[in-house]
Chain A
Amino acid sequence: MAANSTEGASVRAAAARAVFATLGGRNLGTALKEAEAEIPIGRDRALLQALAYGTVRDHRWLEALCGKLLRNLATTPPEVVALVEVGLHQLRDTRVPPHAAVSATVSACDLIGHAHARALVNAVLRRYLREARTLEAALPGTPALRFSCPDWLADTIRRDWPTTWRAVLEAGQQPGPMTLRVNVRATSTSAASKALEAAGMPACAVAGAPDALRLHTPHAVHQLPGFDNGTLSVQDAAAQLAAPLLDARPGMRVLDACAAPGGKTMHLLERTDELDLLALDSDVGRLKRITENLERLHLTAEVHHAEADNPQRWWNGKPFDRILLDAPCSGTGVIRRHPDIKWLRRPTDIPKLAAQQRTLLEALWPLLAPGGVLLYVTCSILDAEGAGVVEGFLRKHRDAQEWRIEAEWGEAARVGRRIAPGGDWDGFYYARLRRLEG
């Protein structure tokens, strides 16, 4: 027996609303939280999330299809276009039976306040079903369009990754794996791996990231044996490189300058006893996640609400032996997990972010003890936010020297080391600087 027809419709309407909000400049995660309020069932929420993420990921291609299918793309209300994109995504990339996808999407018109568009949406989706192959083949095959990337970003990636740029763009279209960080204070990776296997969630090690286990398939965090008691956390392998690289030793004074939500902070504390660690973040809401994580993992650190680039407000004058600067960035290395980044960033953001990164580096450098180490990290894959920032800094500071990172992961950049997104890794940039004595 069929479910009441409005059931599937509300999920499609919520997905269209989230997509519309994201294209208008909202963060997809936030937009989804609001859209979820109307979807009480867990299983439907999972579908909502899959539809919204999938549509946002392929937005440029789907919009191009809409251009072929809708006579007047420009005059069609944007909410309706978003709903058609959600409908097309279901027909192209999901296992939802086509008739169910069409009827639920058509019924969703009423719920987004465009009941008059029912006939249009119905006609467009059914035409796609009939002519999918011709329509898809009629679109130009440029990588930027095929991998749904805005031109400015595709061009920048092409310049910064001249030989591998296509693979970098393509990697952004594949959702990343679910990777766990084993709390080495509580257990070993081999024991954790066995416990996961026994729970029916097999995982394997990631070469180069000693505490990481990659799950073969994703699972809800609270089902993981050891999430609630702090044995396991969720963190991409590339983000797990920070703690080992920083080389903190027991008793050292450590600053984590932009710490929220605290993944790298926790990893530092898990790996090394008796750290005197100060974690800062400028966002109160995100700061709360650090304290929650500390509680779950039974770790301690001093947590401060402060702007890292303004140390006279919060620094007590005692130098740090280690500084982790995980600087705010474009997030272009984590597009596979946050596809909304492609539509939220503007080309003008990149020089602004680079300026902010330089300011942070300049502001924190004097806080580093002679002989101390600063690790500069971003999840950007753009040169302007990576080697570009650090190179300029090294030129200006005689007391700063690169401590080369030798590793099996990633590739050497002009300064520091970078990882292309794909497979086990999110895209990241790392540079390690030592402050010379005297």
Chain B
Amino acid sequence: MALLPILQLPDPRLRERGARVETFDEKLHALIADMFETMYAAPGIGLAATQVGVSLQLAVMDCSEAHNEQRVLINPEVLAEDDLEEMEEGCLSIPDVQEKVRRYNHITVRAQDAAGQSYEIKAEGLLAQCLQHEIDHLNGKLFVDYLSRLKRDRIKKKMVKLHKREQ
């Protein structure tokens, strides 16, 4: 297993839409294992393949405190959503930034697991929020897109400055 580098705003690859996963082979399983390791180390509760430079409809999640509820989300589609609410959110590609965004408190998603089996999940609260956040990533969308232009520009500037200093 290996830790993968997480792309950071404003990396253009974060804006790519992931391609559908068609082959469920060992290579995919190795990628999934590395993504879980990377996510836990970050620490995060969700990580999309597009965040580690792999343009696929694939994300891993674990919203549990005990780190024992691993979920693999492949080729997801949203079937239903309800109850818009403001929720505080952060992203591994935008370190040190936490902002309130509007998310659905209830959501139903259909997706495939690591073996390609199709499943449906009805989620609420943090899990619902995380599902929306990861599905956005797979479509090239970031949570800062929901913020005002002023706030978004300020965050972008901060990130660019941070990268310059760290290089």
Residues of chain A having any CB pair with chain B under 8 Å: 1-5, 7-8, 40-43, 95-100, 103-104, 126, 129-130
The contact of A95 among B3, B46, B95, B134, by CB within 8 Å, is: B3
The contact of A103 among B6, B65, B96, B133, by CB within 8 Å, is: B96
A205 to chain B, nearest CB (A): 28
Query: In the bound complex, how far is the Cα of B43 from the Cα of A2, in angstroms?
Result: 7
Residue contact A100 to B66, C-beta cutoff 8 Å: no
Residue contact A129 to B166, C-beta cutoff 8 Å: yes
Between-chain CB contacts (< 8 Å), 17 pairs: A1-B89, A1-B92, A1-B133, A2-B90, A2-B92, A3-B44, A4-B90, A5-B90, A40-B65, A41-B66, A42-B67, A95-B41, A97-B3, A97-B6, A100-B41, A129-B166, A130-B166
Residue contact A3 to B96, C-beta cutoff 8 Å: no
Interface centre among B43, B92, B133 (most CB of A within 10 A): B43
B81-97: CB near A (< 8 Å → 1, else 0) gives 00000000111100110
A2-B40 in contact given A40-B65, A41-B65, A97-B6 (Cβ < 8 Å): no
Residue contact A2 to B44, C-beta cutoff 8 Å: yes
B6-24: CB near A (< 8 Å → 1, else 0) gives 1000000000000000000
- A1: chain B residues within 8 A (beta carbon): 44-46, 61, 89-92, 129-130, 133-134
- A97: chain B residues within 8 A (beta carbon): 3, 6, 41-42
The contact of A43 among B45, B67, B90, by CB within 8 Å, is: B67
Given A3-B42, A96-B41; 6 other pairs, CB 8 A cutoff: A2-B95, A2-B98, A3-B43, A3-B90, A40-B65, A130-B166
Residue contact B66 to A99, C-beta cutoff 8 Å: no
Query: In the bound complex, how far is the Cα of B98 from the Cα of A3, in angstroms?
Result: 10
Interface centre among A1, A96, A100 (most CB of B within 10 A): A1
Residue contact A100 to B67, C-beta cutoff 8 Å: no
- A8: chain B residues within 8 A (beta carbon): 43
Residue contact A7 to B43, C-beta cutoff 8 Å: yes
A131 to chain B, nearest CB (A): 12
A100-B45 in contact given A1-B89, A41-B67, A43-B67 (Cβ < 8 Å): no
Say if the beta carbon of B154 comes within 8 Å of chain A: no
Say if the beta carbon of B165 comes within 8 Å of chain A: yes
- B95: chain A residues within 8 A (beta carbon): 2, 99-100, 103
A99-B41 in contact given A1-B90, A1-B133 (Cβ < 8 Å): no
- B45: chain A residues within 8 A (beta carbon): 1-3
Interface residues on chain B, size class = 20 to 34
Residue contact A100 to B3, C-beta cutoff 8 Å: no
Query: In the bound complex, how far is the Cα of B66 from the Cα of A115, in angstroms?
Result: 28
- B89: chain A residues within 8 A (beta carbon): 1-2
- A98: chain B residues within 8 A (beta carbon): 166
A327 to chain B, nearest CB (A): 43
- B3: chain A residues within 8 A (beta carbon): 95, 97
Query: In the bound complex, how far is the Cα of B3 from the Cα of A103, in angstroms?
Result: 18
Closest A residue by C-beta to B162: A99
- B91: chain A residues within 8 A (beta carbon): 1-2
Query: In the bound complex, how far is the Cα of B68 from the Cα of A40, in angstroms?
Result: 13
Query: In the bound complex, how far is the Cα of B41 from the Cα of A418, in angstroms?
Result: 42
A98 to chain B, nearest CB (A): 8
A63 to chain B, nearest CB (A): 25
Closest A residue by C-beta to B93: A2
- Enumerate B147-167 residues with CB–CB distance to A below 8 Å: 165-166
Closest B residue by C-beta to A126: B165
Residue contact B98 to A5, C-beta cutoff 8 Å: yes
Interface centre among A98, A99, A103, A126 (most CB of B within 10 A): A99
The contact of A99 among B46, B96, B134, by CB within 8 Å, is: B96
- B92: chain A residues within 8 A (beta carbon): 1-2
- A104: chain B residues within 8 A (beta carbon): 43
- A99: chain B residues within 8 A (beta carbon): 95-96, 166
Query: In the bound complex, how far is the Cα of B79 from the Cα of A254, in angstroms?
Result: 74
B136 to chain A, nearest CB (A): 10
Query: In the bound complex, how far is the Cα of B92 from the Cα of A5, in angstroms?
Result: 11
Interface centre among A2, A8, A41 (most CB of B within 10 A): A2
A3 to chain B, nearest CB (A): 4
- B166: chain A residues within 8 A (beta carbon): 98-99, 126, 129-130
Closest A residue by C-beta to B62: A3
- A7: chain B residues within 8 A (beta carbon): 43
- A96: chain B residues within 8 A (beta carbon): 41
Closest A residue by C-beta to B59: A1
Query: In the bound complex, how far is the Cα of B90 from the Cα of A3, in angstroms?
Result: 7
- B43: chain A residues within 8 A (beta carbon): 2-3, 7-8, 100, 104
- B41: chain A residues within 8 A (beta carbon): 95-97, 100
B118-133: CB near A (< 8 Å → 1, else 0) gives 0000000000011001
Query: In the bound complex, how far is the Cα of B67 from the Cα of A126, in angstroms?
Result: 30
Query: In the bound complex, how far is the Cα of B130 from the Cα of A103, in angstroms?
Result: 21
Closest A residue by C-beta to B38: A97
Residue contact B66 to A2, C-beta cutoff 8 Å: no
- B165: chain A residues within 8 A (beta carbon): 126, 130
Query: In the bound complex, how far is the Cα of B45 from the Cα of A5, in angstroms?
Result: 11
- B44: chain A residues within 8 A (beta carbon): 1-3
- B42: chain A residues within 8 A (beta carbon): 2-3, 97, 100
- A95: chain B residues within 8 A (beta carbon): 3, 41
Closest A residue by C-beta to B37: A95
B84 to chain A, nearest CB (A): 18
